[in-house]
Structure 1
Amino acid sequence: MIYDLTPRPLNPAPQTPAMTWPNGAKSAVFIGFDVDAETAWIGNNPSNVDRMVTTSHGGYDARVGIARIVELMAELAMKATFFTPGWTALAHPEACDRIVAAGHEIGHHGFLHKMPDRDRLEETFEEIDRGFEALQRAFGIRPVGYRAPSGENFPELIAYLAKSGIRYSSSFRDDILPYRHASADGVPGPVEIPVNFAFDDWNFGMSSRSSARPLFGREAVLALWIDEFEATHAWGGVTTLVLHPQVSGRPMRWHLLRDFLRHVQAKGDVWIATGKEIADHFETLERQRRAS
């Protein structure tokens, strides 16, 4: 492949005008969980399927993590979006049913958590289709939100997502406000609810016996999250969380997450919403701007 390295904005999406949030809120918080289970360990490295201790990191989701996270959301009376690979939904139906029964949103997160690859478009699109099929089979749901496995995306995939009925994505890291993806053919792409990498719990709470990555304790992570949230709140943005039950469903990290979310609740002027609710609000503002 020949790569086009011409100087240009690599994301052509237009800037979002200043936003207002519902109910007089100053900022928004989007609680997103990636329910990867074992796919985090086998999707991009299939040979791990026979390494049971390695995959047991992901097995924690169904055995403990999902239930504990659903309990936490109920305790705090919050709704979240659970981006669920199709493989996870089929492998762990009882655990995943807890999410739907509690009234949370299910989002698309691929089938086997394979990183999207522009050099393998057919395989990438098949991952999207299989994910839809599995979530329909498991939950009777066709999701409208998508988070890219391993956090990667490219123009052809954005267009395919829009064609498939995906209304919003939450993968990019280039803004603090939602924005509308632009495509080369002029067809509007999905709404993007961008991510702040500081709120990915995997960075602080996941390692493995074969990795030299250190783990970070409660005080370091809680202070970082509170400071970053407070600054985003002051700027009127959206704080998007990228959480994993196999990380934040662990005992200490469960309490850490609870303390952070209690801090957010105590602000009073924060809109805590699902991805679909944020996308709905963004589209309402779009229609109002067009009508004015």
Structure 2
Amino acid sequence: MKESIKVFAPATVANVVCGFDVLGFAVNEPGDEVIMRLTDKPGITISKITGDNGRLPLDPKKNTVSVSVEHYLKHIGRNDVGFDIELNKKMPIGSGLGSSSASTVAGLFAAKTLLEDRTNASQLLPFARKGEEMACGHGHADNVAPALLGGFVLIRSYDPLDVIKLPHPKGLYCAIVFPDVDVPTREARQIIRNKIQMKDAVTQWGNIAGLVSGLFMNDIDLIGRSMKDILVEPVRSMLIPDFYKMREMAMEMGAVSFGISGSGPSVFSFTRDEETAKKITQKLQAHLTSIKINSNTYVSTINDAGPRVID
């Protein structure tokens, strides 16, 4: 049995515009790394966190990674095990790209691998959701499921949890721009309407069904015209500087779609090729710079691998 392991888990785009809390996909970058070591003493410690500017707690009772791993160990009856965790944040916190879920998934996958546990990755989802519950007050799975399973996922049901991996066109690229503005996930959830009109629900259902159909049919045009959100985006877009201006720019440059990643402030576009994705990220970054907002950009295909051992 190995004494230590280093694991990478990917960032994710949740909601995918029209699928609030039920759709998400993983990307190749950014992501987080966890180094986990077996210790002689039972229990979990966090010895080091880098890349968080001191924002994340070292207290294992308050950190999403250790809390999730603790639930997992309890479930498999391994309270005799001791782990020391080093968390390397390789992605921005509060980006809308599943920062907490990437850390949590990396930790769970590291623990499972070190213990040589043959538990299926999907069986780790309930423990990953415990981390999301701590991070934002709601144990949604649209970040942790794609981070754990890779690819494009649909959460058909939360009770009981029923997660389905979806196919997707291999030539689909994702252009991501993270404006450096503060949009806390918890607050971004609180501004969403609790009641909606039936005609709006019907429109949304049609778009979700259209998006899933487009994924199965490899129909990028159908994917693009289905990625419209009349329930959440109109509210959350107010928290993102020049959201509609950026959408107009991206679509004019050949984007298939444009929307908010998770609760924001990151935005993303699907494109048919890498070159278009790169041009869109460059153009949107230049625009944000012109209004004095720093930003990070990423271009990726959909990541089908999920977490992986890197050392």
Name the structure where strand makes up a greater proportion of residues: 2
Name the structure where helix makes up a greater proportion of residues: 1
TM beyond 0.5: no
TM-score normalized with structure 2 length: 0.27
TM-score normalized with structure 1 length: 0.28
